[in-house]
Amino acid sequence: MIERLKKDFEEKGLEVEFLTRSRGKSDLLLLVNGCKHACLEEKYAPFPEDIPVISVKGEMVGSKYINEKDIPKFLVRQIVKLI
């Protein structure tokens, strides 16, 4: 999914750098969980208050169901709204 997301950003002419938590300050925290249990939310909580957080939980983005094949394009739209 991350590679598809990168491609979708490039197609929109947007440059995005994906970083790990240890690489410093970020503009957005995107948690990509493989299932609805959202283990990453527990691992990374508490979230920084000064940046937006988007969590993908299986076929859910936040609390909204999104067909799995549509998640990358949905994320691009959500992230573009934030920048």
Closest CA to 1 of 77, 83, 68, 78: 68
Sequence letter at residue 64: K
Kindly indicate the confidence band of residue 80, based on its pLDDT and cuts at 50, 70 and 90. Answer: confident
Between CA 62 and CA 56 the distance in angstroms is: 6
Question: Edge-to-edge strands of the sheet including 64-65?
Answer: 29-33, 53-57, 60-61, 64-65
The pTM score is 0.76
pLDDT tens for each residue of 18-77:
776 666 677 888 888 888 888 888 777 777 778 888 999 999 998 899 998 999 899 999
